[in-house]
């Protein structure tokens, strides 16, 4: 049973990730998979449980179920892809939530049904097999505990070893082998002991009085238990890192507690005389345990910080351990009692004439309803706090009337009422000193807020994590739209995957000739983006964009619309689900959406990426776009963002066309205002050509749907940063290079190529010099740090404006501050280094004692 549980959770990990690839990560799709999985388990227990109970060949039933699971696991390796394509086409580009949920649930339910139904029957079959070993009362607790402990091993083994090392398909094959071994071992071991006699008349025996009440309790226990899990995971995602490892630890702790509870029941409580009184005590204890677990959530941030500090504050193991402590505080006591309660109710149902298969089926069927009920309906409507307190109170309502006359019930009831009245909402929002919360929305998948600091700068937060962009970062946000758009000679339609604040896509929409479509996963983010329209105040109405609430990956695969330019946001690769947006298969699907000559740009947050993970992403991208280039969104050292650029036709760029493109811009604010004044500034963002990217990727493993390298590797730097973003950027630039002939369609003028090469060298020199710059209290101190490094950059390329402009501003500040000689000396040097620019000479001419 332990091996069977290991395989079962291994399958669940694999199939959930595989289904998400084609269903998408919308709330309807994610929760539908969980519901379908539980639904199949329930159906198997309900339909086959009674037949197994009457059969005299329970061992054969068990072995057959394991073989069916193994066989269907192999079948899915073949049919999953074509079935998913068919269902994806049936779903459409923008389905209604009801239609998407129905297709996701029914499609997944049918696809997994042979295996999940057989899984649901294995535990009743093994209980029937081992019933002959019980001298007295039959009990499921020991088998349930063993099966659940195996599930813990399945979660941890699949997440920390099997999937990262073997991939999804080969992990499924390992699970298939376990099923076959379980079937063979059962036939070998139990055939020697004989089988329990058949009992054809058992299902016809009258069910004892009170059986319906016991079944109702079993159903509610399944519903409330999974509901509690869904909500706690939802709340802790605002505190923990929300990676694949976070979910694994939360689920593992939940399962460990349940298994220990079942084992404790078998050891100390199984022979209780008064079954109803024990049930009342367990229900009251579970209500109080849920209240204590809920209370721990308010202290989650403090507890996590304390664990990290106590452990030294460094290391991935410590960070994951801190998340495990959070899970233990929230799940430990509740799941311990849940395991004991399920075991006791199952024993009570058997004493009342109800087969274990029916008891398990009722419990699991109700559990299948929990994700949509609590995750989709109640949590967004009432908030996690009220729903969690409601779950604890609901356990009390399942007790008998006599229980309400005891302190066992009144104590948790009063505690729940007090927490309802006085406890704050379960919302985690980091507000800077002097700042305030502009908006907050608790959605199905995430909590989304907009926070303003004391200076009025608004920032978007998802699950209390600050996202890229703000009302003060217009320059960088706009460049992430303009750079790829200006690389296309005449774009008519553009697609942005990811909305965020909306500043990037709305900056693109300022071009009156461009139609902009945007795909955003979270409806709450679409709503919150309205607060960032003020960035465009003074420029007329905010540019119109067509925003669609959908999963970016699913939209690209389902849509037939083509685009001249596609820009993919710099999604945090460590977050759950984001790694699927960096796979070979996704990049290939994007290529199919590009029109002739189309340009695709995938932005990557280097400040959230280690170089090893970046190599895998580059490998994946260049597999689809072998002629790709890399560009920098800006010269920022703290939040460097690198873009991978590919063309549908694999061609290069024509400098003359780019010059015409810039000159013909109809945007109300010209590209020059964003540092793109000419074709040199545009192409100057290039940091790598095809040869350098291929060399950088080297032998790194490509990130694919089957081997999700990024999903499992990217969290490492999130948990335990081993370097600063500026150091990673400079290390990357040292490995990359770009040559003019790799960028241009035709041979460029030699002088022009030399000028471009000098510009690229100056850019790298500028970034490296910035690493040594420290905050300064006045202009003189700053100038003493940057004067010679920036002048040296200008000597490499006089046309590198990011070095020219700050020196020009400092010269003006010196003069305005009374140090006219220092200002004049700096302007004189600037005019000498770059005589083609008039600003320094004009400033000299306007100085009070300037001479002709």
* C-alpha 116, offset from chain centre: 26
Do residues 550 and 25 touch, judged by C-beta distance below 8 A?
Answer: no
Euclidean distance between CA atoms 287 and 264, whole angstroms: 18
- CB neighbour class for 214 (10 Å; exposed up to 12, middle 13-18, buried from 19): buried
Buried-state track 359-381, b at ≥16 Cβ within 10 A, e below 16? bbbbbbbbbbbbbbbbbbebbbe
pLDDT over threshold 70, residue 85: yes
pTM of the model: 0.94
- Which tokens sit at 380? 């967004």
What is the per-residue pLDDT for 851?
47
Beta bridge partners of 64: none
- Which tokens sit at 305? 């910080």
Closest to 730 in 3D by CA, of 756, 764, 762: 764
- CB neighbour class for 852 (10 Å; exposed up to 12, middle 13-18, buried from 19): exposed
What is the per-residue pLDDT for 852?
41
Residue 75, Cβ neighbours under 10 Å: how many?
A: 13
3-state class (DSSP) for residue 498: coil
Intra-chain end-to-end CA distance of the chain, in Å = 94
Euclidean distance between CA atoms 103 and 755, whole angstroms: 57
More confident residue, 10 or 141: 10
Average pLDDT over residues 66-80: 97
CA distances 410 to 170, 228, 295, 354, 404, Å, are 53, 21, 18, 32, 7
What is the per-residue pLDDT for 305?
94
| Least confident range of 382-396, 506-520, 539-553, 793-807 | 539-553
| Least confident range of 111-125, 350-364, 644-658, 741-755 | 741-755
Strands of the sheet with 465-470, listed across from one edge: 436-442, 447-452, 458-462, 465-470
Euclidean distance between CA atoms 682 and 674, whole angstroms: 10
Q: What is the pLDDT of residues 612-654, one digit of tens each?
A: 999 999 999 999 999 999 999 999 999 999 999 999 988 888 8
Q: What is the pLDDT of residues 530-560, one digit of tens each?
A: 999 888 877 667 678 999 999 999 999 999 9
What is the per-residue pLDDT for 471?
78
Average pLDDT over residues 682-692: 95
| Residue percentage of the chain with pLDDT more than 70 | 95
pLDDT over threshold 80, residue 197: no
- Average pLDDT across the chain, whole number: 91
What is the per-residue pLDDT for 137?
52
- Which tokens sit at 158? 């699949």
Euclidean distance between CA atoms 579 and 716, whole angstroms: 13
Q: What is the pLDDT of residues 668-679, one digit of tens each?
A: 889 999 999 999
Euclidean distance between CA atoms 449 and 711, whole angstroms: 26
| Residue that is written with structure tokens 């039959």 in the block | 138
- Which tokens sit at 299? 């202290």
| Residue that is written with structure tokens 């009722």 in the block | 362
| Residue percentage of the chain with pLDDT more than 90 | 69
834 pLDDT tier (thresholds 50, 70, 90): confident
What is the maximal distance between C-alpha atoms in the chain? 115
More confident residue, 538 or 608: 608
Euclidean distance between CA atoms 45 and 52, whole angstroms: 10
Which phi and psi (to 5°) does residue 737 adopt? Answer: -160, 160
| Residue that is written with structure tokens 């002097």 in the block | 434
- Which tokens sit at 788? 């010679």
Average pLDDT over residues 404-420: 91
What is the per-residue pLDDT for 240?
94
What is the per-residue pLDDT for 683?
94
Euclidean distance between CA atoms 335 and 278, whole angstroms: 17
| Least confident range of 142-146, 149-153, 481-485 | 142-146
- Which tokens sit at 37? 């999985």
Euclidean distance between CA atoms 375 and 391, whole angstroms: 13
Do residues 211 and 352 touch, judged by C-beta distance below 8 A?
Answer: yes
H/E element, 440 = strand 436-442
Closest to 511 in 3D by CA, of 538, 526, 490: 490
Do residues 624 and 703 touch, judged by C-beta distance below 8 A?
Answer: no
Torsion of CA 219, 220, 221, 226, to 10 degrees: 100
Name the pairing type of β-strands 465-470 and 458-462: antiparallel
Torsion of CA 699, 701, 703, 705, to 10 degrees: 130
What is the per-residue pLDDT for 850?
46
- Which tokens sit at 96? 């209604």
Euclidean distance between CA atoms 769 and 751, whole angstroms: 27
Do residues 612 and 713 touch, judged by C-beta distance below 8 A?
Answer: yes
| Residue that is written with structure tokens 């795909």 in the block | 519
Euclidean distance between CA atoms 537 and 674, whole angstroms: 17
Contacts of 716 (CB under 8 A, 6+ apart): 316, 610, 613
- Which tokens sit at 738? 């770009």
Euclidean distance between CA atoms 186 and 66, whole angstroms: 10
pLDDT over threshold 60, residue 309: yes
Average pLDDT over residues 358-374: 94
What is the per-residue pLDDT for 682?
94
Q: What is the pLDDT of residues 199-233, one digit of tens each?
A: 554 444 455 656 899 999 999 999 999 999 999 99
Q: What is the pLDDT of residues 265-305, one digit of tens each?
A: 998 988 877 889 999 999 999 999 999 999 999 999 999 99
DSSP single-letter state for residue 579: G
Euclidean distance between CA atoms 406 and 71, whole angstroms: 53
| Residue that is written with structure tokens 């994700």 in the block | 371
- Which tokens sit at 563? 């685009």
Does the CA dihedral 560-563-569-574 come out positive or negative?
A: positive
Beta bridge partners of 495: 517, 566
pLDDT over threshold 60, residue 261: yes
Contacts of 602 (CB under 8 A, 6+ apart): 568, 582, 587, 617, 621, 643, 644
What is the per-residue pLDDT for 536?
83
Euclidean distance between CA atoms 367 and 588, whole angstroms: 38
pLDDT over threshold 70, residue 142: yes
């Amino acid at each position: 049973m332990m091996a069977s549980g290991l395989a079962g959770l291994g399958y669940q990990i694999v199939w959930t990730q595989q289904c998400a690839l084609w269903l998408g990560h919308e709330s309807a799709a994610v929760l539908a998979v969980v519901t379908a999985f539980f639904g199949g388990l329930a159906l198997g227990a309900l339909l086959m449980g009674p037949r197994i109970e009457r059969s005299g060949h329970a061992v054969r039933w068990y072995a057959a179920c394991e073989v069916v699971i193994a066989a269907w696991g192999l079948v899915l390796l073949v049919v999953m892809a074509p079935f998913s394509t068919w269902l994806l086409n049936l779903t459409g580009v923008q389905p209604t939530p009801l239609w998407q949920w129905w297709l996701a649930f029914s499609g997944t339910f049918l696809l997994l049904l042979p295996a999940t139904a057989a899984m649901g029957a294995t535990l009743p079959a093994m209980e029937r097999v081992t019933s002959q070993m019980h001298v007295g009362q039959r009990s499921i607790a020991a088998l349930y505990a063993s099966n659940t402990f195996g599930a813990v091993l399945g979660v941890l083994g699949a997440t920390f070893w099997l999937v990262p090392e073997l991939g999804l398909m080969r992990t499924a094959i390992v699970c298939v082998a376990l099923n076959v071994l379980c079937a063979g071992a059962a036939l070998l071991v139990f055939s020697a002991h004989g089988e329990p006699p058949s009992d054809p008349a058992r299902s016809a025996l009258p069910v004892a009085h009170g059986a319906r009440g016991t079944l109702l309790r079993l159903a509610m226990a399944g519903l409330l238990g999974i509901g509690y899990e869904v909500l706690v995971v939802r709340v802790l995602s605002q505190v923990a890192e929300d990676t694949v490892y976070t979910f694994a630890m939360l689920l593992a702790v939940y399962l460990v507690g349940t298994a220990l509870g079942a084992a404790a029941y078998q050891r100390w409580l199984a022979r209780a005389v008064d079954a109803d009184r024990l049930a009342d005590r367990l229900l009251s204890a579970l209500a109080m345990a849920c209240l204590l677990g809920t209370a721990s959530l308010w202290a989650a941030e403090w507890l996590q910080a304390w664990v990290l500090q106590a452990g030294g504050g460094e290391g991935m193991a410590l960070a994951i351990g801190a998340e495990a402590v959070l899970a233990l505080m929230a799940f430990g006591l509740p799941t311990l009692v849940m395991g004991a309660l399920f075991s006791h109710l199952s024993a009570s149902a058997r004493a009342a004439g109800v087969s274990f298969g029916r008891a398990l089926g009722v419990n699991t069927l109700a559990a299948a309803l929990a994700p949509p009920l609590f995750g989709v309906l109640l949590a967004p409507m009432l908030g996690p706090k009220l729903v969690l307190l409601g779950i604890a109170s609901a356990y009390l309502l399942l007790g008998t009337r006599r229980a309400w006359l005891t302190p066992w019930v009144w104590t948790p009831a009063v505690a729940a009422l007090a927490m309802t009245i006085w406890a704050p909402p379960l919302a985690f929002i980091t507000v800077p000193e002097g700042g305030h919360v502009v908006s907050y929305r608790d959605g199905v998948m995430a909590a989304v807020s907009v926070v303003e600091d004391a200076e009025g700068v608004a920032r978007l937060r998802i699950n209390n994590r600050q996202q890229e962009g703000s009302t003060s970062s217009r320059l960088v946000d706009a460049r992430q739209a303009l750079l790829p758009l200006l690389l296309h000679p005449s774009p008519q339609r553009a697609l942005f995957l990811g909305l965020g604040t909306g500043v990037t896509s709305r900056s693109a929409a300022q071009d009156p000739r461009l139609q902009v479509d945007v795909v955003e996963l979270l409806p709450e983010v679409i709503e919150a983006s309205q607060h960032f329209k003020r960035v465009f105040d003074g420029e007329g109405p905010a540019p119109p964009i067509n925003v669609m609430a959908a999963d970016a990956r699913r939209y690209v695969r389902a849509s037939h619309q083509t685009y001249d330019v596609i820009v993919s946001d710099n999604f945090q690769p460590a977050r759950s689900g984001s790694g699927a947006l960096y796979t070979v298969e996704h990049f290939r699907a994007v290529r199919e959406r590009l029109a002739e000559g189309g340009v695709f740009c995938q932005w990557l947050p280097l400040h959230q990426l280690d170089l090893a993970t970046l190599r895998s992403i580059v490998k994946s991208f260049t597999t689809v776009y072998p002629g790709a280039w890399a560009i920098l969104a800006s010269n920022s050292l703290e939040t460097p963002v690198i873009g991978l650029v590919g063309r549908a036709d694999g061609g290069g760029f024509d400098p003359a066309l780019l010059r015409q493109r810039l000159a013909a811009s109809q945007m109300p604010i010209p590209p020059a205002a964003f540092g793109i004044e000419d074709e040199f500034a545009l192409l100057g963002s290039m940091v790598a050509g095809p040869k350098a990217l291929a060399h950088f990727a080297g032998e790194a493993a490509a990130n694919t749907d089957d081997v999700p390298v990024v999903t499992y590797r990217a969290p490492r730097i999130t948990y335990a940063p081993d370097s600063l973003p500026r150091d990673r950027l400079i290390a990357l630039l040292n490995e990359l290079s770009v040559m003019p002939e790799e960028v241009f369609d035709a041979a460029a003028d030699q002088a022009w190529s030399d000028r471009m090469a000098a510009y690229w060298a100056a850019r790298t020199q500028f970034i490296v010099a910035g690493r040594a710059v420290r905050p300064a209290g006045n202009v003189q101190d700053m100038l003493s740090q940057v004067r010679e490094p920036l002048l040296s950059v200008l000597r490499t390329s006089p046309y590198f404006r990011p070095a020219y402009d700050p020196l020009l501003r400092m010269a003006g500040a010196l003069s305005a501050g009374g140090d006219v000689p220092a200002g004049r000396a700096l302007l004189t040097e600037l005019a000498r280094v770059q005589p083609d620019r008039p600003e320094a000479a004009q400033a000299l001419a306007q100085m009070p004692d300037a001479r002709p």
